[in-house]
Structure 1
Amino acid sequence: MRAVTYDSYAEDNSRLQVGEVPDPKPGPGQVLIEVRAAGVNPVDWKVMAGGLDALIDTWFPVIPGWDVAGTVRALGPDVPEFSPGDEVMSYARKDVIHAGTFAEYVAVSASAVARKPAALDWNQAGGLPLAGMTALRCLDRLNVGKDDVLLVHAASGGVGAFAVQIARDRGARVIGTASEGNHDRLRELGAEPVAYGDGLADRVRDLAPDGVTAVADLVGGQLDTTLAVLAGGGRHVSVADSDVEKHGGHWIWVRPDGAALAELGALADRGVLDVEVAATFPLEEVGAAFDASRSGHTRGKLVIIP
């Protein structure tokens, strides 16, 4: 099959190449997915730069990518949940960084697979898993509900947009930080936008004089602001700053979970989740997709199409 690979860590795109690699084999409890779309996430190029070397083993050459939507082509032993031809999606992170989703096929544990929601096209489904599940895990850990005022740092980003939509569906009031160019988008999603940067805590306090009851930090470096605006007894999480654990918060790392992904699919089919796709790229242009992601200014999901 054709796949994108890199054979050593690199902070730029110099080690990326497209070529033929052996087809993956679906082992016991696995499904073989023919990839129709694979979402790009910042973790993909951070992994390529060695950013998770201390945490997860890596076997070179690596096929990057952890998001996938596609069609089941074959099953390993004992996989009664799925059949060939099923349209599915998955957050396909594995215990070892090696065989990712920027390829024509990927083998994934059935426990990490969910059926593709009818409301989403392939590109939207391919961009949903990691970001959507991260948002869902944050809100579940915060136990966000109708009595909450939630502050979302980086609310217009890939994870943030999902967090806003899910929290609003749960009845929470949502305040979201973003550049002014994305404020209208946040209003469309149901959030009250505030500009990030100097004076952020004061701007949040202007909107919520009694403080916010929950904070989801989706960008890092926001702990001082979080503590300044959090009401007594409030809860906070971060996906990028483990120091929150020293201040009563929780460091979130999403895990593959087909049931949680199916919950997101149900939200999409109910019309709760809008998955905005910013751009699509062929395998040969993964480097360009990484550059767009590195810029930090892309609104919506970037998607690879094999």
Structure 2
Amino acid sequence: MTDLTMKAAAFDEFGSAEVLRAQLLFRPRAGTGDVLVRIIRAGVQLTDAAIRAGWTPPGATITFPQVPGNEFSGIVEEVGSGVSGVRVGDEVLGYSMLGSYAEFVAVPEHQVTAKPPDLDWQQAGALSASGQTALTAFEDLEITSRDRVLVHGAAGGVGTIFTQLAVLAGAEVVGTASVGNHDYLRSLGAEPIAYGPGQLERIRELPGGYDVAFDAAGHENLLTAVQIVTDRRRIATIVDMPLADELGCRVVRSRRSADRLAGLARLVSDNRLRVHIRRSFDLDEASEAHRDVETGHGRGKVVLRIAELR
């Protein structure tokens, strides 16, 4: 390896997890308005696996070999001309549509924010994607302390953050999850219900109605939501878009910015919000990390260990 190259996990064709493998690629440079970040940790998202399997996000261009990964934490290695708010050596967290499963990533300055000293690298690296998606859903659904909220997939990456944001707002939260995650949901402040066959009856067994439903799991959970929430503008999904359009429910598309990420990072640093890391993998094990997230099970987030502090 030289100063011109870096180690990354990339794929040269669409396919199953096996196409994702460690490679030696050219190291990016910081262009005008960009910062080059030496990555310490990178979050692993189901979206990354979908891209590897053949989906192209709106506005993105896939070029082989393609490095996936859309969230990271690390240290600024280089700044381009025109960068004024970030310096070499700054500890940051940030986001990028692609490119984060690598030792280095170059992104516009406005896509990174300072990492609070009390925020550990793993949580910082796994916060952006799930955190900003959950925050967008929380805002779109206008959660208040008067609401009773049903969350499908409450133990997952997005569901975990959304549940905590709703609890912080004073809402009463009921979450569906596997029985093994029920104590975890209670620790977040939510009332758990077992998902799967018969879940509608179990949801209705709890006294009181529901004002809001948020689907972070898919599996046609919107069909349950429309039976218990009257106002379909307060039913949203991040997964089942065609069904949402058919039923007249909301589709949540994440709004991201450095300011929004900074606010979430402060909440985590202040111990008001937590990012649960269920498992971490080395960069060489990126394909195994994809297999993990593609199971659709497990609580919280998966991360890649890219580097350790020198």
- Give the TM-score band, short-chain normalised: over 0.9
When residues 240 and 19 of structure 1 are mapped into structure 2, their CA distance, relative to the original with a 3 A threshold, is same
Q: Deviations over 1:97-128 (max 9, x none)?
A: xx511111001122221221333211111111
Alpha-carbon deviation of 1:201? 2.0
Alpha-carbon deviation of 1:33? 0.6
Contact 1:92-1:256 at 8 Å conserved across structures: no
Contact 2:110-2:257 at 8 Å conserved across structures: yes
Alpha-carbon deviation of 1:245? 3.2
Q: Deviations over 1:177-217 (max 9, x none)?
A: 001110000001000101111222222222253x2111111
Contact 2:21-2:287 at 8 Å conserved across structures: no
Larger deviation, residues 175-184 vs 16-25: 16-25
Partner of 2:113: 114
Contact 2:17-2:290 at 8 Å conserved across structures: no
Partner of 1:205: 204
- How many Å separate the matches in 2 of 1:31 and 1:273? 28
Alpha-carbon deviation of 1:233? 6.8
Is 1:10–2:15 an aligned residue pair?
yes
Matches within 5 A, 1:175-190: 175-190=174-189
Contact 1:117-1:268 at 8 Å conserved across structures: no
Q: Deviations over 1:266-299 (max 9, x none)?
A: 2112211111111221111111111111222222
**What SS class does the counterpart of residue 125 from structure 2 fall into?**
helix
AA aligned to 2:258 is G
**What SS class does the counterpart of residue 262 from structure 2 fall into?**
helix
Contact 2:134-2:162 at 8 Å conserved across structures: yes
**What SS class does the counterpart of residue 27 from structure 2 fall into?**
coil
- How many Å separate the matches in 2 of 1:9 and 1:246? 30
Contact 2:232-2:248 at 8 Å conserved across structures: no
Contact 1:267-1:273 at 8 Å conserved across structures: yes
AA aligned to 1:258 is A
Alpha-carbon deviation of 1:4? 1.1
When residues 31 and 55 of structure 1 are mapped into structure 2, their CA distance, relative to the original with a 3 A threshold, is closer
When residues 113 and 156 of structure 1 are mapped into structure 2, their CA distance, relative to the original with a 3 A threshold, is same
Alpha-carbon deviation of 1:49? 0.4
Matches within 5 A, 1:140-155: 140-155=139-154
Larger deviation, residues 284-293 vs 238-247: 238-247
Matches within 5 A, 1:165-184: 165-184=164-183
AA aligned to 2:88 is P
Contact 2:226-2:232 at 8 Å conserved across structures: no
- How many Å separate the matches in 2 of 1:234 and 1:247? 10
Q: Deviations over 1:32-72 (max 9, x none)?
A: 11100001111111110002378743111101111100011
- How many Å separate the matches in 2 of 1:269 and 1:148? 27
For structure 2, list consecutive stretches of 5 or more residues without a partner in the other structure.
Answer: 1-5
Size of the aligned set, in residue pairs, is 299
AA aligned to 2:172 is R
Is 1:268–2:268 an aligned residue pair?
yes
Q: Deviations over 1:127-176 (max 9, x none)?
A: 11101111111101111111111111000111111111111111111110
AA aligned to 1:205 is R
When residues 150 and 112 of structure 1 are mapped into structure 2, their CA distance, relative to the original with a 3 A threshold, is same
For structure 1, list consecutive stretches of 5 or more residues without a partner in the other structure.
Answer: 94-98
Contact 1:37-1:304 at 8 Å conserved across structures: yes
When residues 72 and 164 of structure 1 are mapped into structure 2, their CA distance, relative to the original with a 3 A threshold, is same
Larger deviation, residues 159-168 vs 227-236: 227-236
